C-alpha cells in the first residue's frame, strides 16, 4: 500500500528564498524558455547561459528574466 503525503488544510509550503526558481528566456527572440534554480548568495546578478534553442536548432544565449 502506498502512503499519501498531505499538508494540513490551511498550511502553505514555504518557498526557498535562497534558491528561487527562475526562467531563462532566449535572447534570439523565439520565446523559448528554460526553468531552473539559482543560488542568490553565490550569483546575485542576472544569470546568462549558452543553451540549445530547439526552435532555431542552435546554441544561443539565455538570460534570466524577472
56, part of any domain:
yes
Q: Does residue 24 register a pLDDT over 70? A: yes
The greatest distance separating any two alpha carbons of the chain, rounded to the nearest whole angstrom, comes to 49
13 vs 44: which has the higher pLDDT: 44
Q: How confident is the model at residue 7 (pLDDT cuts 50, 70, 90)?
A: low
Distance CA 27, CA 25 (A): 6
Comparing 24-28, 30-34, 62-66, the range with the smallest average pLDDT is 62-66
Question: What are the backbone angles phi and psi of residue 31, rounded to the nearest 5°?
Answer: 90, 0
40, part of any domain:
yes
What is the per-residue pLDDT across 48-61, written as a single tens digit (0 to 9) for each?
Answer: 999 999 999 999 99
CATH of the domain at 41: 2.20.28.120
- Which domain range does residue 33 map to? 21-65
**pLDDT score at 59:** 98
57, part of any domain:
yes
Distance CA 25, CA 46 (A): 12
Number of independent structural domains in the chain? 1
1, part of any domain:
no
Q: Does residue 18 register a pLDDT over 70? A: yes
Cell of 41: 548568495
The separation between the first and the last C-alpha atoms of the chain, rounded to the nearest angstrom, is 43
Distance CA 50, CA 31 (A): 15
Amino acid at each position: 500500500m502506498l502512503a499519501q503525503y498531505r499538508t494540513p488544510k490551511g498550511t502553505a509550503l514555504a518557498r526557498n528564498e535562497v534558491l528561487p526558481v527562475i526562467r531563462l528566456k532566449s535572447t534570439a527572440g523565439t520565446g523559448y524558455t528554460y526553468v531552473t534554480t539559482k543560488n542568490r548568495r553565490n550569483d546575485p546578478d542576472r544569470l546568462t547561459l549558452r543553451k540549445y534553442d530547439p526552435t532555431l536548432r542552435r546554441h544561443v544565449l539565455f538570460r534570466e528574466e524577472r
